[in-house]
Structure 1
């Protein structure tokens, strides 16, 4: 008989929770009728964090995807009127991506949908449990600190 693998069980629980979060968020997004996929939603949220319109390469790097994937997402969002391509003022060969007013309105709706999804997911937890979970998730997301020799580089 094999001993239980606690780390394997935790990994499985995290994967199941991730799938549940995606299902719930997708349902909340569909309920709002925005016609935006989760990947497009992520691109819009990322775009909103830039001070000035980024290049597609910047978005691909930030999203950790290949540039072609960003092109496909931008194409769909541009067709829907959520973003537009604009020339870089310093180099006309460079194209930047900016939110439209409709894109900002969609972001507000997306934020409300994500908030509703989070409330649904976290409903079983007390305030203390939520605080504890936040700390634990933060530690997992941030990962272990880099060794001192790597921090100096």
Structure 2
């Protein structure tokens, strides 16, 4: 392994550690909310409209059966609701409930707060540099 490979591996490991810390903090006091369930809530929120299960699965990059299982769990918890598609009697739409929206807001605040705590270790200039570097890496 050359030095560049070693550096890349170290960066990946440190990024994973930061992400795990943020996820762990966001899940505190939120029983049963896995990353996968959070992704479903976030995807529905970003869609700004109810989605068919097949659309939801496509946006999540999972098979429809897996989406159905997660939606079943979230619906049982009162975070999502199924409703008939007004344009297709055979289809069902999935939407966030007010409780789902509230939970998503809580988790987002916890994630932000966890990141603020981590970023407090850096100076404002270092935070700006980090953001710029992450933006460059995230650009497609």
TM class by smaller structure: 0.7 to 0.9
Of stretches 38-47 and 114-123 in structure 1, the one that deviates more from structure 2 is 114-123
Structure 2 residue corresponding to 1:109, chosen from 98, 106, 111: 106
The TM-score, its normalising length taken from structure 1, stands at 0.80
Larger radius of gyration: 1
Measured after TM superposition, the shift of residue 35 of structure 1 is: 2.6
For the pair 1:134 / 2:121, whether they are aligned, the reply is no
For the pair 1:83 / 2:73, whether they are aligned, the reply is no
Measured after TM superposition, the shift of residue 33 of structure 1 is: 2.8
- Structure 1 residue runs without a partner (length 5+): 144-153
How big is each residue's C-alpha offset from its partner over 1:12-35, in whole Å with a ceiling of 9 and x where there is no partner? 133213321342133213322343
- Structure 2 residue runs without a partner (length 5+): none
Q: How far, CA to CA, are the matches of 2:55 and 2:67 in structure 1?
A: 10
Q: How far, CA to CA, are the matches of 2:35 and 2:8 in structure 1?
A: 23
Provide the aligned length of Structure 1 versus Structure 2. 140
Runs of 4 or more consecutive aligned structure 1 residues displaced over 3 Å after TM superposition: none
Q: CA RMSD in A?
A: 1.9
The TM-score, its normalising length taken from structure 2, stands at 0.86
